Structure 1
Amino acid sequence: MIGKLKIFITLSKNLFGVLNNKEKNIFSIYLILSIINTVLEIVSIAIIILLLLIISGQDVSDSNLYLLFNFIPFNQTVYNISFLMISIVLFKTFFQIIYSYNQEKISFEITRRINISLYERFVNSKYTEYINANMPKVLRVLNQESIRVGNQLISPFITIINETFLLILIISFIFFYDPILGLSFSLMSITLLLIFNVSVNKIIKSLGQKVTETNTSRIKLINETFKGFDIIKLFNKNETFKFQFDQMTKKVTNAAFKHLFYLKLPKSIFELVIFIIVFVMIIILESTNNKALLISYLSVSAVSIYKIIPCLNKLSNAFQGIQYFSIPLNEIVDYLKVNQEFNYNRKLKKFKKLSYKNFSFNYSTDLILENIDFEIKKNEFIGIYGPSGSGKSTLIKLISGLITSNNGKIYMDNQLINPIELRNYCSYVPQDSTILDENVYTNISLEFQQKNIDKHKVIDVLKKVDLYKKFEEDLNSSLGESGIKISGGQKQRIAIARALYHNKSILILDESTSNLDVKTESRIIDLLQKISSEIIIIIVSHKQSSLKKCNILYEINNKKIIRKS
């Protein structure tokens, strides 16, 4: 039991750890409003009990409740108490509607803020963390878990606060009326909550973990199915992939239906136990022939049970929801702790030379590059070649500032600069260029808001890369998922146009022409040679034939870089 309490306290700390100061203050305000809401509930219960006692002809002057009812400033007739009851219930209802609306609104505002923070952490994470990340897990957290924070975490915590206050005050009210009856309800409520939640705690957490892990696998399989769609069809593996997806989906749906079953189970159990206790109470009081006490106890019990059963059910569901979401919550907390890396957005300056001095780099214990010196000058068309695994891709990521060296320094015209600052000067074209499922304007500008796009400039760079005639009539048409509607050569040209649009000083191509036919590759190389008068070109290839028009050649081998021409 102590262990379960520690887990809950840890989860509570994790929740409040992801809230900012403003949100913590809002929580404090809602704590006060929750107390007001609970007091209104208790007042309405007390008035209903008074009305029942008056209607049944009971004398309440000897009851402890008489001390409370004395505060009513008018005659306690059935009509007066009825009007008082409906007035309080109306006020309470309007208060609860406004309270509930704002509770959910604030809950989802917090969810939105956490969503944005998670995405911001992801896009600002270090490049080395990105390449080591579990992409299906990242997609699940950003796309599924983060949006569930409101329903699965914030709302349950607010519910626990609300219902705990309500349960305590209801039992206190019963205890004030009759200590024995109050003690009975106290023991019953605590026992029911503890027994049920302790018994299903491990089950619920296990179900949540199973859904979390299986959803990650499902996302991975969907991504792989999309990327390998042609291979799946050619090798006739449709049924193989379908079976795998079916097995994963079965695990998720089985866990989900069991969780829903456990959510609905408490209500039935709590009702059964409470009514058994009421039944026993009726038998005992009936055997004493004390009709007045029986009616009194039944009146108080009936009204209290009307509130206690939903209260216990909500508390149980809230505890279950938090346990079910405990694994995703820990993942969210971990992602919010990821160190952010921000670009230097200083004004760009023209330079004649970039010098990389004494650079080394290793992945884990594998040394990739060792004490290399490298220089880039204005208007150069540089070619880099070397065997597979020699460190070509690592070098261009160092050149562009995507990753930083274990040692070494970078100078811009003999002035020392921060490696991250290089990102403002470099554009990168990989073997498979990044193409968004958007129109040409967005793909070149990387802006989603049309008002932020210089469309005349887009057209100018399209003309420079010989693409304007191709897209003249389709500038506002989507290029499809990963550019599926255009050819490989057109993808590379769009990536080159992107660099020109953003006024980049250096354009780096990593095996970007290796998948193109000879004719298309030759046209891309001619284009690069043509624009090298306004932008530095660095092309990396394992084929020396792709580098024949470069005016400077480097070879990478044995962790070193050697100038060849």
Structure 2
Amino acid sequence: MKLWVHFSKNLKYFSIILTMLAFIVSILEVLGISSIVPFLAILADPSVIEDNEFISYLFEKAMYLGIGSYEDFTKVVAVSAISLFIFSILGRAFYNFLTIKFIAGCEYELSVAMFKKYVTSDYEHVIANDSAISKKNILSETFMVSEHAIAPMVTIVSQGLTLFFFLFAILIVNIYVSIIVLLFIIVLALFILLPLSYIVMYLGDRRFKYNELRFKVTNDSLSILKEIKVRGDENYFIDQFSQISSNYRKALSLMRGISIIPRYILEGVAFGSSLVAILFMYLHGTPFSEIIPIVTLYALVGYRAMPALQNIYTSFTAVRSMRGSVRGLLAQLEHQKTNQKVNPVNEKWDIIGSDRVVPTVFFDRVSYNFPESDKTVIEDLTLELKPGQCVGIVGKTGSGKTTLINILMGLFPPSKGSLKYQINDNTYSIDTVPSVKYGYVSQNIVLVDRSLAENVSLTETDENINYERLRICLKISDLTDVVDKLDEGVHTFVGERGVRLSGGQRQRVAIARALYAEPSILVFDEATSALDIETEKVIIDNIRELSSEITIIMIAHRPQSLRICDKIYEMNSGKISLKDAKLVVKND
């Protein structure tokens, strides 16, 4: 199974141990049930102690241990049979406990691997895929695959070993009857069970498809719920979700319904084959005293083997029904490009007087095309960004401003040309440059349902936050007065997506977050669009004081927002040109 390569060595070793334990437990189960046969044979006819070669051998060995009478020997056989049966039950219970632990470990490692793959993927790939499907795969499909694909495979191995040893046991007792049973099973598998499994596999693929659509509709509608309510379009989305959920329910119920049909077929086959076996032995003159122990063995084997056979089939169909889910996970795990370069945190930086690395950045004839697109978004662009410089970028929507920033921050690799970094007369590529941290503030602010302080730090809990650094960041972002009015100050929870704050307050939290991250280069992408003129002026003036320490890039439609910039460039159809900064601001 291709998923196997994504598990840790410890989990792989665990699976080997689990398989070995399944082997031992299966042997114990067969011995426990088989040991009842000599006990019943002795009770039915004590003379078998002398007549039966195997039982006679056991009795001779028992005599060396001081067991000389038939009665004592019968007691020993009974106690041995009970002990083996109890040991097999305890062994099966312990095996099931370890199986549950193993499946939970598989789900954990799959979900972590999926999450890691998503957050380390190239940004180009991230924006090209639906986030709702990624969320579903990380949170839902990893569980489904673990519980309904990996767990059934473990069951197939365990129950398969049990079934094999039981068949081996009845082969020893009566080979002809065993052949009759095997023929029944083979015919059943070829003409009934196998065709049903293909139907279940088809329904499983449909379930996976409709489950993806359910997550997509839910994610899309909740993301724009405000607009939906304003437009009065609730019924449209309710009907859409209802139709998809109905299709999902039909596929799931049919899949599960068809999966249990073989259970009843197997019960009929088991009963019928038992009667045929008894009739076969009777017609061939087998004494009734010998038939009773054998029939008892078959009954006990059937009691344990038939559920095993049912579990094997159910597990087999479950694995096939999860084909779509497994393929979905593998598609993300194996085909996403990843960028494993993570900038380490510089613990010494405290905004004022830091020892950050602030490079000169060169765009050397950079061009960019989106993957699988011939349209050139950035064309033959050359640009120099010096340390401590504040640079403004203007341009119409679609002119390439945000793409330029994505290339600068390493999110998009240039299609042509290169990015170079100069630090202390040394030139580096994007792969070799020492730690250069970016702070990024977008016009689309996303806050999480944590405290305001945790939203600013983002990667630290309330107990680990540097509150002096936090205070400075809040002051620069003009949030001090806002925080003072909150009941719990910086420990106030902001609600999902920051709903307890206004749009302007959320943007200021995002600015504080970018500053707290210790950036060498700070990027504002329409970051003050939700602010009033007065608040924007305060924040811009505060940022101006930082410009000697860090490089600042500002994208804005409001030219007045760029009044602190040393240079202003205009993007037009993927090309860049230098503008007169004073003239741009004056024409506002």
Q: Same fold (TM over 0.5)?
A: yes
Determine the C-alpha separation between the residues in 2 that align with 1:546 and 1:71. 102
Equivalent residue number for residue 361 of structure 1: 368
- What is the SS of the residue equivalent to 1:402? coil
Equivalent residue number for residue 260 of structure 1: 256
Q: Match for 1:411 among 396, 410, 421?
A: 421
Equivalent residue number for residue 450 of structure 2: 438
Q: Match for 2:340 among 339, 342, 351?
A: 342
Equivalent residue number for residue 324 of structure 1: 321
Q: Taking structure 1 as reference, are residues 416 and 201 closer, same or farther at Cα in structure 2, changes over 3 Å only? A: farther
Shift of 1:483: 1.3
Determine the C-alpha separation between the residues in 2 that align with 1:435 and 1:192. 58
Equivalent residue number for residue 125 of structure 2: 129
Determine the C-alpha separation between the residues in 2 that align with 1:191 and 1:48. 30
Equivalent residue number for residue 246 of structure 1: 242
Q: Counterpart amino acid of 2:196?
A: V
For each residue in 1:107-130, what CA deviation from the matched residue of structure 2 results, as whole angstroms up to 9, or x when unmatched? 212321222121111111111111
Q: Taking structure 1 as reference, are residues 441 and 400 closer, same or farther at Cα in structure 2, changes over 3 Å only? A: same
Q: Match for 1:377 among 373, 386, 394?
A: 386
The answer on whether the counterparts of 1:153 and 1:322 sit within 8 Å (CA) in structure 2 is yes
Q: What is the 5 A alignment of 1:416-431?
A: 416-419=427-430, 424-431=436-443
Q: Counterpart amino acid of 2:305?
A: I
Are residue 46 (structure 1) and residue 44 (structure 2) matched? no
The answer on whether the counterparts of 2:136 and 2:212 sit within 8 Å (CA) in structure 1 is yes
Are residue 22 (structure 1) and residue 34 (structure 2) matched? no
Determine the C-alpha separation between the residues in 1 that align with 2:340 and 2:532. 39
Determine the C-alpha separation between the residues in 2 that align with 1:238 and 1:157. 43
Equivalent residue number for residue 37 of structure 1: 25
Equivalent residue number for residue 8 of structure 1: none
Equivalent residue number for residue 180 of structure 1: 176
- What is the SS of the residue equivalent to 1:408? strand
Determine the C-alpha separation between the residues in 2 that align with 1:424 and 1:324. 48
Shift of 1:506: 1.7
The answer on whether the counterparts of 2:163 and 2:305 sit within 8 Å (CA) in structure 1 is yes
Determine the C-alpha separation between the residues in 2 that align with 1:267 and 1:344. 53
Determine the C-alpha separation between the residues in 2 that align with 1:92 and 1:446. 52
Q: Counterpart amino acid of 1:476?
A: H
With the length of structure 2 as denominator, give the TM-score of the two structures.
Answer: 0.87
Equivalent residue number for residue 80 of structure 1: 76
Shift of 1:392: 0.6
The answer on whether the counterparts of 1:58 and 1:296 sit within 8 Å (CA) in structure 2 is no
For each residue in 1:450-480, what CA deviation from the matched residue of structure 2 results, as whole angstroms up to 9, or x when unmatched? 4432123212211222212212333112211
The answer on whether the counterparts of 2:365 and 2:380 sit within 8 Å (CA) in structure 1 is yes
Equivalent residue number for residue 160 of structure 1: 156
- What is the SS of the residue equivalent to 2:388? coil
For each residue in 1:468-496, what CA deviation from the matched residue of structure 2 results, as whole angstroms up to 9, or x when unmatched? 22123331122112111112221221122
For each residue in 1:319-378, what CA deviation from the matched residue of structure 2 results, as whole angstroms up to 9, or x when unmatched? 012112122112222322233312253667433632222211111311111221112223
Determine the C-alpha separation between the residues in 2 that align with 1:352 and 1:31. 56
Shift of 1:389: 1.2
- What is the SS of the residue equivalent to 2:491? coil
Equivalent residue number for residue 102 of structure 1: 98
For each residue in 1:132-181, what CA deviation from the matched residue of structure 2 results, as whole angstroms up to 9, or x when unmatched? 12222211110101123432233212211111111111111111111101
Determine the C-alpha separation between the residues in 2 that align with 1:47 and 1:272. 27
User: Which range moves more in the overlay, 327-336 or 516-525?
Assistant: 516-525
User: Which range moves more in the overlay, 301-310 or 544-553?
Assistant: 544-553
The answer on whether the counterparts of 2:38 and 2:55 sit within 8 Å (CA) in structure 1 is no
Determine the C-alpha separation between the residues in 2 that align with 1:527 and 1:262. 68
Q: Match for 2:201 among 201, 205, 211?
A: 205
- What is the SS of the residue equivalent to 2:15? helix
Equivalent residue number for residue 10 of structure 1: none
Equivalent residue number for residue 407 of structure 2: 398
Q: Taking structure 1 as reference, are residues 71 and 121 closer, same or farther at Cα in structure 2, changes over 3 Å only? A: farther
What percent identity do the matched residue pairs reach?
26
Q: Taking structure 1 as reference, are residues 378 and 342 closer, same or farther at Cα in structure 2, changes over 3 Å only? A: same
Q: Taking structure 1 as reference, are residues 189 and 86 closer, same or farther at Cα in structure 2, changes over 3 Å only? A: same
Q: Taking structure 1 as reference, are residues 59 and 456 closer, same or farther at Cα in structure 2, changes over 3 Å only? A: farther
Shift of 1:17: 3.0
- What is the SS of the residue equivalent to 1:452? coil
Equivalent residue number for residue 532 of structure 1: 547
Equivalent residue number for residue 7 of structure 1: none
Q: Taking structure 1 as reference, are residues 175 and 475 closer, same or farther at Cα in structure 2, changes over 3 Å only? A: same
The answer on whether the counterparts of 2:26 and 2:161 sit within 8 Å (CA) in structure 1 is yes
For each residue in 1:511-559, what CA deviation from the matched residue of structure 2 results, as whole angstroms up to 9, or x when unmatched? 2233445555445444443443443321112443433442311011132
Q: Counterpart amino acid of 1:402?
A: L
The answer on whether the counterparts of 1:384 and 1:553 sit within 8 Å (CA) in structure 2 is yes
Q: Taking structure 1 as reference, are residues 462 and 92 closer, same or farther at Cα in structure 2, changes over 3 Å only? A: same
The answer on whether the counterparts of 1:18 and 1:333 sit within 8 Å (CA) in structure 2 is no
Are residue 454 (structure 1) and residue 466 (structure 2) matched? yes
The answer on whether the counterparts of 1:14 and 1:330 sit within 8 Å (CA) in structure 2 is no
- What is the SS of the residue equivalent to 1:539? strand
Determine the C-alpha separation between the residues in 2 that align with 1:228 and 1:446. 24
Equivalent residue number for residue 563 of structure 1: 578
The answer on whether the counterparts of 1:358 and 1:373 sit within 8 Å (CA) in structure 2 is yes
Determine the C-alpha separation between the residues in 1 that align with 2:495 and 2:57. 71
Aligned-residue Cα RMSD (Å) equals 2.6
- What is the SS of the residue equivalent to 1:244? helix
User: Which range moves more in the overlay, 260-269 or 214-223?
Assistant: 260-269
- What is the SS of the residue equivalent to 1:475? helix
User: Which range moves more in the overlay, 253-262 or 485-494?
Assistant: 253-262
The answer on whether the counterparts of 2:121 and 2:338 sit within 8 Å (CA) in structure 1 is yes
- What is the SS of the residue equivalent to 1:144? helix
The answer on whether the counterparts of 2:359 and 2:387 sit within 8 Å (CA) in structure 1 is yes
Shift of 1:105: 0.9
Equivalent residue number for residue 485 of structure 1: 500
- What is the SS of the residue equivalent to 1:503? coil
Determine the C-alpha separation between the residues in 2 that align with 1:67 and 1:561. 99
Q: Taking structure 1 as reference, are residues 449 and 149 closer, same or farther at Cα in structure 2, changes over 3 Å only? A: farther
Q: Taking structure 1 as reference, are residues 379 and 141 closer, same or farther at Cα in structure 2, changes over 3 Å only? A: same
Determine the C-alpha separation between the residues in 2 that align with 1:57 and 1:562. 106
Q: Match for 2:489 among 474, 494, 497?
A: 474
User: Which range moves more in the overlay, 540-549 or 283-292?
Assistant: 283-292
Q: Taking structure 1 as reference, are residues 328 and 65 closer, same or farther at Cα in structure 2, changes over 3 Å only? A: farther
Q: Counterpart amino acid of 2:516?
A: Y
Q: What is the 5 A alignment of 1:134-149?
A: 134-149=130-145
Q: Counterpart amino acid of 1:404?
A: P
Determine the C-alpha separation between the residues in 2 that align with 1:345 and 1:526. 29
The answer on whether the counterparts of 1:218 and 1:249 sit within 8 Å (CA) in structure 2 is yes
Determine the C-alpha separation between the residues in 1 that align with 2:359 and 2:267. 81
Shift of 1:429: 1.0
- What is the SS of the residue equivalent to 1:563? strand
The answer on whether the counterparts of 1:424 and 1:504 sit within 8 Å (CA) in structure 2 is yes
For each residue in 1:402-433, what CA deviation from the matched residue of structure 2 results, as whole angstroms up to 9, or x when unmatched? 22212223122443223265883211111112
Shift of 1:249: 1.4
Determine the C-alpha separation between the residues in 1 that align with 2:519 and 2:530. 25
